[in-house]
Amino acid sequence: MSTTYNFCAGPAMLPQAVMKKAQGELLDWNGLGTSVMEISHRSKEFIALTDQAETDLRELMSIPENYHVLFMHGGGRGQFSAVVNNFLGENGKALYLVSGSWSRSAVDEAIKLTSDAQIDTLDLLVNDNGISAVSIPELAGKATDYRYLHYCPNETVDGIEIVEEINCPWPIVADMSSNIMSREIDVSKFGLIYAGAQKNIGPSGLSIVIVRDDMLKMPSLPQSSIMDYRLAVKHGSMYNTPPTFAWYLAAEVFKWLKVSGGVAAMAKTNAKKAELLYDFIDGSDFYNNTVSAQNRSLMNVIFYLENEDNNADFLAEASRAGLVALKGHRSVGGMRASIYNAMPIEGVEKLVEFMKGFADKYQA
């Protein structure tokens, strides 16, 4: 059977070892004679799974003791509204940094739930001759007392990543849906981190929330109980029935990450994968990338063909070569290769080899 490399931005490919284990345990998990999807989420066996998942995630990300780890519903979009409802009671104000499609979506959701006066935005994008870059302004001197600053370190659609540390006097809320555990970070710099699971953690339907104790003391707005961080903490992320199969797969991904060398090892491999692909694109007259070098995403590589009339042939021939889901987001066009933790370097090597052959064949 030929190998297929899945470059989908999300739901993304999962580690092959995890998928094979899940396949083998699908009908009989933990010797119970039933699937993990069929047992009570309050059974001692499932509680043991969730405890280990939290322990492993805390170890992988070096999460301090004064942070809670929550396994919640709703993916990243669900957290757009949860953040507002949990932290912006009593007419609090928040600052949103805009660097691409997902940070804009977070703003749109926040505005639905608040008055215009409660949300301030700063556009970080600058454009120089068609090349996009991020410019972070000086924030420490701003007089406004914001409840939090929200930003998206990695813009999946736009292929933009902010590696630079943001310094400000307010708690930082970060949407890390597409780059969580792709490189090491200092969790203590953040008030809250959230991530939809479907890119670097597991299947869709689950989201991870890492929240500092003091954040939970902020005034909140009336909201759905299942998105209330305080209730989630109180009930161990089980106020209602959680997405148990997604939690199980996330737990298996955490185990895989640990035996693979942890986040530090992933960061080295991710840098090699991205360098291999970007170096080829930069050295080609047939392909181009429109993001400045310092803001190029390690997870989502955007590129365009010299002649966009060849796009359909590129996608069709790539698919036949076992390279799937390379079409760029409809809002930006072109191509997108998402190379999350689960993508082996062999997949990127095969993609570069294909791109070279395609360019040789179609070069004008």
**What CATH number is associated with residue 275?**
3.90.1150.10
pLDDT at 54 over 70: yes
Amino acid at residue number 126: V
Residue 230 lies in a domain: yes
Q: What is the tens place of the pLDDT at every residue in 260-311?
A: 999 999 999 999 999 999 999 999 999 999 999 999 999 999 999 999 999 9
Burial 148-161 (b: 16+ CB within 10 A, else e): bbbbbbbbbbbbbb
The closest alpha carbon to 327, from 346, 303, 306, 348, belongs to: 303
Which string of DSSP letters, residue by residue, matches 203-254? Answer: STT-EEEEEEGGGGGS------GGG-HHHHHHTTT-SS---HHHHHHHHHHH
Q: Is 58 annotated as a binding residue?
A: no
The C-alpha atoms of residue 175 and residue 80 are separated, in whole angstroms, by: 9
Do 236 and 266 lie in one domain? The reply is no
Q: What is the mean pLDDT of residues 127-136?
A: 90
Angle subtended at Cα 203 by Cα 199 and Cα 207, rounded to the nearest 5 degrees? 75
d(CA 79, CA 282): 36
Structure token pair of residue 1: 């059977």
Active site residues: 102, 175, 199
Is 170 part of any known ligand binding site? no
Number of domains in the chain: 2
Dihedral, CA of residue 248, residue 254, residue 256 and residue 261, to nearest 10: -170
Token pair, residue 221, equals 């707005």
pLDDT, position 222: 84
pLDDT at 135: 93
For 114, phi then psi, to 5°, come to: -135, 175
Q: Answer yes or no: is 3 a known binding residue.
A: no
**CATH code, domain with 164:** 3.40.640.10
- Identify whether 4 is part of a domain: no
What is the domain extent for residue 127?
27-259
Instruction: Give me 154's structure tokens.
Output: 């990695």
Last residue within a domain, chosen from 217, 238, 259: 259
Instruction: Looking at the structure, tell me whether residues 150 and 58 fall in a common domain.
Output: yes
* 44 & 189 share domain: yes
> What is the per-residue pLDDT for 90?
77
**What pLDDT, on the 0 to 100 scale, is given for residue 308?**
92
Residue 311 labelled as part of a binding site: no
The three-class DSSP label of residue 121 is strand
- Annotated ligand binding at 290? The verdict is no
pLDDT number for residue 1: 42
Asked if residue 13 is part of any domain, the answer here is no
Which helix H or strand E contains 56, and what residues bound it? helix 44-61
Reference 103, options 147, 161, 146; nearest CA is 161
What is the total residue count of the chain?
364
Q: Which of 259, 294, 315 is the last residue of a domain?
A: 259
Residues 255, 266 within the same domain: no
Preceding peptide of 203 cis, ω within 30°: no
Structure tokens at 44: 């001692």
Answer whether residue 337 is part of any domain: yes
Q: Are 234 and 277 in a shared domain?
A: no
Averaged over 18-30, what is the pLDDT?
A: 95
333 is in an annotated binding site: no
Residue 11 belongs to a domain: no
Question: Alpha-carbon distance 124 to 90, whole Å?
Answer: 28
**Assigned domain for 18 exists:** no
Do 282 and 201 lie in a common domain? no
Same structural domain, 222 and 282: no
Calculate what percentage of the chain has a pLDDT beyond 70: 99
| Structure confidence at residue 91 as a pLDDT band (50, 70, 90) | confident
How far apart CA 351 and CA 172 sit, in angstroms, is: 37
Q: Has 320 been labeled as part of a binding site?
A: no
Residue 247 labelled as part of a binding site? no
Q: Is the pLDDT of residue 332 over 50?
A: yes
d(C-alpha 151, C-alpha 173), whole Å = 7
Report the amino acid identity of residue 246.
A
The per-residue pLDDT for 221 is 86
Are 85 and 113 in contact by the 8 Å Cβ rule? The answer is: yes
* Structure tokens given for 54: 């939290």
Q: What is the pLDDT of residue 2?
A: 63
pLDDT at 364: 65
Supply the pLDDT for residue 161.
Answer: 97
pLDDT tens string 287-298 = 999 999 999 999
Residue 154 CB partners (closer than 8 Å, separation 6+): 160, 161, 162, 176, 177, 178, 179, 182, 297, 299, 300
- Nearest-5° Cα angle at 105, 153 to 338: 50
Average pLDDT of the chain is: 94
Contact 192, 212 (CB under 8 A): yes
